[in-house]
Structure 1
Amino acid sequence: MTTTQQDQDVIDLLLTQHNEIRALFAEVKSTTGEPRKRAFHQLVRLLAVHESAEELVVHPASRHDISKATIDGFLREEGDMKRELNNLYAIGTDGPGFDEMFAAFEQAVMAHNTHEEQREFPMLRRKMDPAKLRRMAGAVRAAEAVSPTRPHAGVGESGTTMMLAGPPMALFDRMRDAVRDWHRTNEE
């Protein structure tokens, strides 16, 4: 049986994205040149929208059933990852030290994803009605549609901050992405 977007719940959506993140890490590590840059930009975009949506939708829903300290820990990890991703983006895939920084970054992201998969996701599945989990998947998709496509470390990780600052940053990021992609297409 094929799962449609309407049937997919938020946990299945996030697990699918965690698998996509894992695959993009592998692609960045196994390629060079332009393919590596493209894979890295895909990874940057996916991580940026994924984390923003979690901050807006998932973590606030979990806050009632998981300790505040755990959720705050997730937010700290996400803030650290945004700063590190900013550093990697600034260095570029061909920059000095990229491979070492990227390897450490991958470890941090995979550890963070594992924490969510082992603590937050099972609790959500136990405590929430399946229909609500499906509606949350729609809310995550909507949040991702207006989320920045690059990490903006220092902006803050709260849902309120992302609601206020996210859409303008997303518009700017998407314009930069379009210009970058246009230049790549017209250089060939």
Structure 2
Amino acid sequence: MAEQDVIELLMAQHGQIRDLFDEVEQAPPDKVGEAFARLTRMLSVHETAEEEIVHPYARRKLDNGQGVVADRLTEENKAKRLLLDLHQRGVDHPGFWDGLAELRAAVSAHARSEERYEFARLRAHTSTVERRAMAAAVRAAESLAPTRPHPGTESMTKNVLVGTPVAVMDRARDLIRKALGKR
């Protein structure tokens, strides 16, 4: 199964993220908030898992892994800041659509860079067993990840120390909003 390989799993998620951007852009006005909430959650969970599992492994395993990961973290921080700004201002803000276009461009460029500079090299320097183990670890990290953007936590250590309590708060907030029928 393709999703047992961490590279295939993450690339499939990149496709899901593209689809979620399309969903937000094509949603009727009364559904934009719900679609944007799904996009926010997916981006937040996906990036946290990469930061906790994939980037530390790439740092150790790849030639110039430090540089490759540093570039990806810079891109991730920019995208998180854009996403947080959109999330805080809300979908009714006059600048929402321009901000969404900027976020989409940043996320797309980041995904292409990951696939080209990190994922392709990881595939060449890891075994099937390693990639399967990383896929399982990514799934576990996603189940505990924050559901909203938190710029400044782009490392495994910060995600573990800060991310876990923040994730609990995010998920509690999600449950309360769901119970109240809000998004």
User: Do both share a fold (TM > 0.5)?
Assistant: yes
By how many angstroms is 1:71 displaced? 0.9
Counterpart position of 2:30:
34
Residue aligned with 2:181, SS: helix
Aligned length: 180
> 1:70-85 maps to which residues of 2 (within 5 A)?
70-85=68-83
Any gaps of 5 or more consecutive residues in structure 1?
Answer: none
Cα separation, partners in 2 of 1:88 and 1:105, compared to 1, 3 Å? same
Deviations 1:100-151 (A, max 9, x none): 0110110000000000111111111111010110010000011111110001
Judge conservation of contact 1:66–1:120 (CA < 8 Å) in 2: no
Give the partner amino acid of 1:168.
Answer: P
Q: Could you tell me the percent identity over the aligned residues?
A: 44
User: Which residue does the alignment assign to 2:158?
Assistant: 161
State how far apart, in whole Å, the 1-side matches of 2:63 and 2:148 are. 28
> In 2, distance between residues paired with 1:134 and 1:38?
33
Distance 1:13 1:39 in 2: 22
TM-score (norm 2): 0.94
Change (3 A) 1:66 1:151: farther
RMSD: 1.3
> Which has the larger displacement, 75-84 or 60-69?
60-69
Report the TM-score when normalising by structure 1.
0.91
Q: What stretches of structure 1 move > 6 A for 4+ residues in a row?
A: none
